[in-house]
Every structure is written in C-alpha cells, then in structure tokens.
Structure 1
C-alpha cells in the first residue's frame, strides 16, 4: 500500500514531534517536516533514527509572507495532508508585534495560501490554534465565564501589545481567524479542522530534548522538581491542561475521521494549579519529598475554583477517547526528567 504524505510545520516543536512519532509509528504515512535551520534538522533526524519516511525542509522565518512558498512549490504536489503546528515564541527584546503577532498571522496565512496554490492533492488542513484564541487573559480570574468550542477572544491589537501574555492571546486569535477566513474566501478544495489545546503537559518525545529548562508549559512541572522546600506556592499558576500524547492523537485522528471535518476542537482534560502539581510530585516521588516545595495543605481547592470553566463535551464526544489525567501526565514528565538527570551524573 502506498503511504500518504503529511506535511508537519514546526517539526522541532514539543507537540509536533509527538505528532510525527505517531504518524511514523503507524507505518501508514510519510512525513515532511519544516525546521528553521540545518542544525535543528540534523538533531530531529537523529532523534527519529534517520527514518527513511521522514524528510525535513528549511523554513527560516514565519514572518515572511512567502515563507512556505518555495517548499510547497517543490514538494506540495506530494502532500496529502497539512498539519500546521509551527508557532513563534517571545524573544528577550519584547517586540511583541515583530516576534509574536506578525509571524503567527503571516505564518498561518502563507502556509494556507501555499497549500491552495501548490498542493492540489491535499485533502485536509489541520491548524493547531490555542485555548488562548477562545478567551481573553482575564478569564483566568473569572469563575463566571464558561468557554466552549464556539468561544472567541476579543482583544484589540492595542490591547494585545500591552504585554507578552496579551500579545500571545491576540496572535493566536488573529491567526486562527485568518485561516477560517481564507478557507472561505479562497474556496479551498480541502477540508479544515482547528485544534485548540489548553496548556500542554507530558514527557518530551525524546530524552535528548530534556534540558535544564523545558518548553513553557512543561517548565511549570520542571520548576517544581527543582524547587526548594522554602519556596512559596505560586497561586497564579493555574489553568486547564491536555497531555501532549492526547493532542497528537487528536491531530492524527483528524486525518482519518470525517466527523472532525470543519470542527473547532477544544482539548482540555481538566484543571491544574501549582499546588495540585506539587501534591502529585511529593506523593509519587518520595525521593524528592523534603527537598522540594510542598506548598500548603488544601491550597489547591480555592485556586481550582477561581478561573473560567470549560465545556468541551462536544470535542470529547467527537474524538471518542479518554484523555490522560493530570497525575499520569505529571508523573510521566517527572520520571523522564529524573531519568535523564540520573544518566547525566
């Protein structure tokens, strides 16, 4: 049987690597992934054991409106599906427009337009958006708000430029709106699904990706593992989560499951807060007990009731599988961190 080809943007990313792994492990697909440079490409190929079903291409700058054109002009005719996961992150100079908003919007715009122009055989386009596109930042302090698959953030550009957090919310909302609008205005022949994950926890796809500092969501767990007993609880660390392996599974399912065509999915397995994660680590890893922060007994109860509610029953019914719970996600993440650190000693 001829294997179909999936293009995955941002192949070095935490989420993208799990998606690529599940695609390759199925033995049903070939994958073409984009990376920023050849150094990153070399590492990804090594991590995947130089799998012959994996090809990497260079897309240097998502800000450029022709960022994906040359890659799609060369390879697009071979693509059956496009999974857009590439996402800019803030840099140290805090130029939110340049480093976050422009590349988020332009990257989504260009890869979609390149798919229309150069990839005539693509059947489905799956955009990784974010829970941040479904609400404003202040919802994290308002228990009277309920967010579902039809919810949208409403920040203006001026509001988005106030700080990095607001810029991220504005960027994700604008990038997703751009894709939905393009799908309609360009009369795209392929189907569109958008996945909006909450905070993404879980182990790295490869031990080689475990470093002193992890990606922003997993760094919450990593920071507790490396905390001091005297460190106070961080009550501002709270929200909703999904395990990266469930997110990758949903992405792959979008390829084969026609029920997901045209859907906007909200992936959340439940709530988390700093105290709840600290409780899990202190309970499941007795070797860390007394060496790391433990917070306050019962400190999670009030925090977990202090922010917006999520109603994603539609998404859960469509996907039809149970999401990984917080205890498993945190435990697997910590086990990997400790294993890598023990090996390095």
Structure 2
C-alpha cells in the first residue's frame, strides 16, 4: 500500500500512543483523519501539528455511545482506506467495572467496525486495533514465572471473574474488545473487504511526542517512571513488573501492521523485555547524577532475580520476525522518558 494520498483514520488521535502514530503517518506521506472528544481538543492537536494540510479532525464525543463513529464515517468514509482504532477507555477509579470499562471497550470497537461496514465497506482495506498484553494474559498469569505469553495466548478471565477489581476489569476489557473485533470479521466476511491486525503492547514507556503534553497529565505506564523520578531517597516503592515496549516502536508497528501484507490477520505482541520498578530506579541512579542520593535506591541489581521469581516469560519471536526492526532498549527508553520529565519539572 503506497502512502501517497492514502487516507488513514486514527481514533483517539489526541492520546499518548496515537500522537506518535499521527506523526509517523504524516512523515510517511499519508493523509490523516483523527478523532478526538471535543472541538477544543481537536483544534489543539491541529495547532501542535502546525495545521498540516494532510491532517484533519472529527469529533467523536464518547466512543462507547451507540453508533459513536457513524457521523464521522458517513461524512468521510469514502476517502478512508485504513483505520487505526487506538481509542479505549482507561479508568481505574471505579467500582462499576461493567459500565466504566468492559461495556465501553467492547462498544467502542464494535461501533467503529459497524460504521466501516455501513459507510466504508468498499473503501476500507485494513483495520488495526490497539489491544494490549492484557488481552494475552490475565494478571494472575503475568505474575506466574511458569507461564509463557506469546501471540497465541488469551487472558483466561471470564466476564464475571474479571470484575474482581479495577486492574482485572481493565485487562478483561482489552480481551473482550479484541475478541469482539475478531468475531465481527468472522461474522461479516461477506459484507466487508478489510482484514484486521491487533497490536498487543506491554507497559508502554517512552517520551511524549510533545513535551508540553506532560502538563496535562501522563499515561498510566509512564506515570510509574514519573513517580520514581519524584521518589525520596529513603522511600519505598511498589515493584511493578511485566513486559515493556517503547512508544516509538508501538507507533512504528501500527504502520507495519497495515503496510506489510504478512501482518494481516495477525496479533503483534510488542515486548522488548521484562522490567521491574527496581530496574527503572537503577537506570535513574546510574544515568542522572542530579537524582543520585535524592531518589529511592531499593536493592540495586536485584531486578533480574525478582523477575525470575515473580514474572511470566515472554516469547514474541514471531512478532519480531514479522516486523523486522529492532526495538528501543530499556536504558534508552527510560533515559528518554526521564529526561523529558525532568525538563518539564525544571520549567515548573
């Protein structure tokens, strides 16, 4: 698929991952139609991209509302060849797991696919859905050192069991939204011509595309690093662990997912390696002299031992083979993320 004049629709275009994707698409010569929740947000995004003539925006107020994407696709569907569905609800401050996480995630995915079927069945050829490692493994499996996550894995939680708490419900929402997409394609084969691929990243770290985005808050994975950058020398920290990937690689994978025909119908599990918070602290103390002695140290060098006991194994050799590019290293990813955080902190 050539980028020249090909139009790509990006849902949730104002988000952390999506901004990188929009930037990569524009640099590669694609035309981009993004969706955001309000005219104000959309105008802000257009301004950040210097009102690039190849970028336009549509308002989709609530992705979980019935027929949420109908208006955008009725208006623009005939121009769109590729859809990247990146928008998804992230909400950990809730006890109404069904209404705040599970149903919105599934509805959002189904409503964009329905809108394509209604208004762009003849034009859309590729759909890429941003899923998560959470669709590949349940939280209990993620902390099981005998469990291997790969592209074929599925989170074992049921609709009922994933309502145990907000984290489990969020993970479940990713599984059920992704399942809904695969089921939709199977059930509507005669009415559509697009193939789908899914992107299943681990914890997504890396710099924001625009440094000033940090003033409006931070994505939940990068918040782990922000907290450690602001930790106290004598402080304790929760040792998060799991697979990680740099946002710049996640973005690159979105383009590969529709550009490379071999990625059609595939799940791409994005993971460079496993990490734990102790590993982050070690890099921060090693690479930033201005933080040494001021932030937590934990037990330096104990990360690998901790991961061997408390974390699953990951095998994404098939994804790496399909994508064919090298992912950012952990150190590079953490240094770039923390440098940007410190830059904003110093300006404050």
Instruction: Give the structure-1-normalised TM-score.
Output: 0.96
Runs of 5+ in structure 2 lacking a partner? none
Partner of 1:95: 96
Query: C-alpha separation between the residues in 2 aligned to 1:251 and 1:54?
Result: 17
Partner of 2:56: 55
Partner of 1:121: 123
Choose the corresponding residue for 2:232, options 218, 228, 231.
228
C-alpha distance 3-212 of structure 1, shift in aligned 2 (>3 A): closer
Query: C-alpha separation between the residues in 2 aligned to 1:242 and 1:99?
Result: 27
Choose the corresponding residue for 2:295, options 292, 295, 315.
292
Query: C-alpha separation between the residues in 2 aligned to 1:283 and 1:141?
Result: 27
Contact between 1:197 and 1:247, CA under 8 Å: does it hold in 2?
A: yes
Choose the corresponding residue for 1:144, options 146, 165, 177.
146
1:59-208 equivalences in 2 (<5 Å): 59-90=60-91, 92-119=93-120, 120-187=122-189, 188-208=192-212
Query: C-alpha separation between the residues in 1 aligned to 2:330 and 2:218?
Result: 18
Query: C-alpha separation between the residues in 1 aligned to 2:84 and 2:304?
Result: 38
C-alpha distance 69-213 of structure 1, shift in aligned 2 (>3 A): closer
Give the superposition deviation at 1:212.
7.4
Aligned length: 342
Give the superposition deviation at 1:233.
3.8
Of 62-71 and 76-85, more deviation after overlay is shown by: 62-71
Give the superposition deviation at 1:169.
1.4
Choose the corresponding residue for 2:333, options 323, 329, 332.
329
Instruction: Give the structure-2-normalised TM-score.
Output: 0.95
Query: C-alpha separation between the residues in 1 aligned to 2:296 and 2:4?
Result: 53
Give the superposition deviation at 1:213.
4.3
C-alpha distance 41-79 of structure 1, shift in aligned 2 (>3 A): same
Give the superposition deviation at 1:301.
2.6
Determine helix, strand or coil for the equivalent of 2:185. helix
Determine helix, strand or coil for the equivalent of 1:127. strand
Query: C-alpha separation between the residues in 2 aligned to 1:14 and 1:2?
Result: 25
Contact between 2:196 and 2:266, CA under 8 Å: does it hold in 1?
A: yes
Partner of 1:31: 32
Root-mean-square deviation (CA, aligned residues, Å) is: 1.3
Give the superposition deviation at 1:226.
0.6
C-alpha distance 276-212 of structure 1, shift in aligned 2 (>3 A): farther
1:14 is aligned to 2:16: yes
Partner of 1:214: 218
Query: C-alpha separation between the residues in 2 aligned to 1:43 and 1:208?
Result: 12
Contact between 1:202 and 1:333, CA under 8 Å: does it hold in 2?
A: yes
